Structure 1
Amino acid sequence: MNRRTLAGGALALTAALTLAGCSDSSGSDAGQASGKPELKVAGAFMPEPVMDTMASGFFTVTNKGGADKLTSVTSSVAEKVTLHSTKGNAMKEQKSFDVPANGELDFARGGNHLMFEELKKKPKQGDKVAVTLHFEKSDPIEIEVPVKAATYNPTPGKHASH
């Protein structure tokens, strides 16, 4: 009689664990990872350019949904805006940047950044530059990027929302 009770209990436990495993695979984490991206941009700034023809830009994209990709950036202040990464001391133009599911894409001094090339007008400290971020899946996001002092460098993780 003891063995029969143990066998029945083990069978019930196995069935419960199997059912729990099945329902877990359709949980919220699995849905969010493959779901629609939820993007927010914060901490955007442009150091006042020292050159008349070129400027840089920085910001953080936070994603609380499925993965996306930043494919291009446009601005009326420049003929073109290019995406760049920096590894070591080498700067390299990129076609796009991944925005990870439930993660961040960070553009900061010494790392990923925007290059505003062939400036139509040199932005001055205190100005705001209109910028549009274009993504593979999400609608474009328009932001106003404040022009800060040329030496401005915020503390990582201290971005203000925009």
Structure 2
Amino acid sequence: MRRRTSLAVAVAVSAGLALSGCSADAGPKLAVSGAFMPQPVDDMAAGFLTVENSGGSADTLTSVTSDISDDVTIHRTTDRKMREVASFDIPADGRLDLERGGSHIMFMALKERPKQGDKVAVELHFEKSDPITVEVPVKETTYNPQQQ
């Protein structure tokens, strides 16, 4: 009897560990790549990057902060019109592309104007995931990786 109880406990513990592992794998798993900021020519700048979600559930980019500006917003460009939005969805097993001519980050009223070769610290805030800090390299004003 004791042996069956021990076996039953071992099976229950193993099943519990397996289930908890599965549920942890179901959450968003975010990674940022391709970040850049064209060197600004006035007191505002744009930022571009890709957020990849290899996890099993969606997340949402809710805001962006940076020491370079107290007014950092996210924008969607549709029909050549830029509009501020409250958030961007990042689908499960999908990606969010912030790129020239499309959705992007806007830095208004820059406290300082970064130069090509500098790096700007940016913190991305999400609905579910912990914030991600990215060192965004400043590229030449006309830089566009889609045309490289």
Give the structure-2-normalised TM-score.
0.81
Q: Deviations over 1:59-101 (max 9, x none)?
A: 0000011100000000000112100000111110000000000
Equivalenced residue count is 125
Aligned mates of 1:155, 1:84 — CA distance in 2: 19
SS in 2 for 1:110: coil
- Counting only pairs closer than 5 Å after superposition, residues 6-25 of structure 1 correspond to structure 2 as none
Runs of at least 5 residues in structure 2 that lack an aligned partner in the other structure = 1-21
- Counting only pairs closer than 5 Å after superposition, residues 18-57 of structure 1 correspond to structure 2 as 35-51=26-42, 53-57=43-47
- The structural deviation recorded for 1:35 is 2.2
Flag the structure with larger Rg: 1
Runs of at least 5 residues in structure 1 that lack an aligned partner in the other structure = 1-30
SS in 1 for 2:145: coil
- Counting only pairs closer than 5 Å after superposition, residues 71-150 of structure 1 correspond to structure 2 as 71-150=62-141
Aligned mates of 2:80, 2:90 — CA distance in 1: 24
Aligned mates of 1:119, 1:79 — CA distance in 2: 8
Letter aligned with residue 97 of structure 2? D
Give the structure-1-normalised TM-score.
0.74
Aligned mates of 2:88, 2:61 — CA distance in 1: 5
Is residue 55 of structure 2 the alignment partner of residue 68 of structure 1?
no
Aligned mates of 2:106, 2:37 — CA distance in 1: 10
Letter aligned with residue 44 of structure 2? M
